[in-house]
Amino acid sequence: MGILNIITYIPVAGAILILFLGRNASRAIRTVATATAVVDFLASLWLWPNFDKTKLFQFRETYEWIPSLGVKYDFGIDGIALLLILLTTFMGVVAVVSSYTAIKFREKEYYILLLLLQTGMIGTFCSLDFFLFYVFWEVMLVPMYFIIGIWGGPRKLYAAIKFFLYTLAGSVLMLLSILALYFFNDGGIGFLNIKGLGNVGTFSVLKFHEIGHLIPPSLQFWIFLGFFFGFAIKVPMFPFHTWLPDAHVEAPTAGSIILAAVLLKMGTYGFVRFALPILPDATIQLLTPIVVLSLIGIIYGALVSLVQKDMKKLVAYSSVSHLGFVMLGMFALNPMGLKGSVLQMINHGISTGALFLLVGIIYERTHTRMIADYGGIAKQMPVYAALFLVAALSSMGLPALNGFIGEFTILLGVANSVVFGTMTYAVIAAIGIVLGAAYLLWLYQRVFWGPLDNPKNANLPDVNKRELGLLLALVALMVWIGVYPKPFFDFIEKPVEYIVKKVEPSYFDKQPLTYPGSPSAEHSEVAEK
């Protein structure tokens, strides 16, 4: 059993342990859950120094699973997956610790579900076999359904089933695309009258990376569409986003944190790992509609955030806007854009996770999230106000904080993109950044400044030690990535280059431009090929 399996199944072990604890032993349950999350985080930290940044997929573990179907149990990560796993385990700790006081009933089930969810998420990032990937992908659904449905707000039943059905509908279509890939590689006799390759049937993602460009464009189009529905709903991209505000508003704080920080990344990760490298022709074919949807998402999400009366809903819609950036950077199809996109996934996880945590903290004290109920809180809770400011600034992309690095790199990539061939997209996206500053600063102004006119807020206690610890850890990360992002970029350098070579191989011919940190010698080498 290798390190990836250990990281994946530590939460399950913790969940089983909790199963044997008494229903009312809240303290013991919390301790075990926290210990599990922390151990899992430490285990994943082990990957950081032991990861070889010059290689692609590492820590491979391959076992036979269903030999007669060509299904293998295949684990392995590259730099992108590594960062996302670290994000997952870190946010796992945040989610567990932030739930101590927020969850008041059925605690045992809650922590079990939270831990199972973590296994599903880590497994999804580790899988290099489509069948396995799909299994983990679906495993995530059920715990999240219950977390929203049991511990959620007033409209929790509606939000939970909406989340569940939306995601399921997308993922079953993705399943069909996976099958189509399988048939193309296998033999494809009688399948859409396309002759397959006649290879041994397999679900290996790496094999599909190899054969992807051989798939005829017409077939690629349909396969891409299936993936698109699966991933775009999860991201969520503009017309498929309607489940998100409901799920976020109704979910308990920890549910929102995990949902925003990790679950949304599943969609973008899916595009990066599968859709782009396997289906280069379809990516180019569908580039314009996807980019347009991303731009609409950026502007629409920001505008809708601007008019929200509910803080949590505001942060939820801001996610639509931010994920639009991630998608835009990715589809610039150059290393710069893609790197920014991947880093922005991490940044969004940290910043938006922090914002949801902050909203959750004040909700616990006052049981309202309406902006109108607040005003002048800064006087009463100075530490809280300061931390909120850092998180908001990070989210809106202030230099020296993480959001700036991500957004700036994305904009550079978009502006230089050969496939876009225009600056218009970058300009529109920049408008989104301005709007982002507007809704966050306006929110900050209305909640924290002005007179403290609501008498109910007169005696609000400031953040306690537990909350402070969590928030400081998040702020530290924001500053780290904002000031010195190189270690993070180093991890994604190699995989990004690999993906761009797959999806837009001509980039390295057309563009003699060097980008930070990569030796130009490699480019000329590719160009010669």
**Which of residues 147, 160, 327, 414 is near another protein by CB under 8 A?**
160
Residue 61, burial from CB neighbour count under 10 angstroms (0-12, 13-18, 19+): middle
- Tell me: does residue 238 bind another protein (CB under 8 A): no
Report the alpha-carbon distance of residue 14 to residue 35 in Å, rounded: 8
Closer to another protein by Cβ: residue 172 or 386: 172
**Residue linked to tokens 């002005």:** 450
Report the C-alpha gap between 344 and 454 in whole angstroms.
37
In angstroms, the Cα distances linking 458 to 77, 133, 291, 377 are 50, 50, 47, 9
- State yes or no: residue 164 binds another protein (CB under 8 A): yes
Residues 6+ apart with CB under 8 A from 68: none
Q: Does 9 bind another protein (CB under 8 A)?
A: no
Nearest approach, Cβ of residue 106 and another protein (Å): 9
Among 16, 35, 169, 292, binds another protein (CB under 8 A): 169
**Contact present, 96 and 15 (Cβ < 8 Å):** no
Token pair 């505000």: residue: 245
Dist CA 402 CA 353 (whole Å) = 13
Q: Which is nearer to another protein, 205 or 377 (CB)?
A: 205
Residue 16 binds another protein (CB under 8 A): no
CB of 431 to another protein, least distance (A): 36
Q: How far is the CB of 68 from another protein (least distance, A)?
A: 5
Residue 25 is a binding residue for another protein (CB under 8 A):
no
Helix (H, G, I), strand (E, B) or coil at 236: coil
What's the min distance (Å) between Cβ of 63 and another protein?
A: 11
CA distances from residue 529 to 211, 231, 501, 512 in whole angstroms, order as listed = 18, 33, 12, 15
Binding residue (CB under 8 A) for another protein from 173, 197, 371, 526: 173
CB of 192 vs another protein, minimal distance in Å:
6
Only segment of 88-96, 152-160, 320-328, 368-376 that touches another protein (CB under 8 A) = 152-160
How many CA atoms lie less than 13 Å away from 188 in the CB half-sphere? 18
* Among candidate residues 259, 257, 11, 251, the one with its CA nearest the CA of residue 150: 251
Q: How far is the CB of 75 from another protein (least distance, A)?
A: 16
> In this complex, which beta carbon is closest to another protein, that of residue 226 or of residue 353?
226
Contact map string, positions 182 to 211, toward another protein, x by CB under 8 A? xx------xxxx------------------
Distance CA 95, CA 262 (A): 11
- At its nearest, how many Å lie between another protein and the CB of residue 183? 6
User: Which positions touch another protein (CB under 8 A)?
Assistant: 65-69, 109, 134-135, 138-139, 141-142, 145-146, 149-150, 156-157, 160-161, 164-165, 168-169, 172-173, 175-176, 179-180, 182-183, 190-193, 222
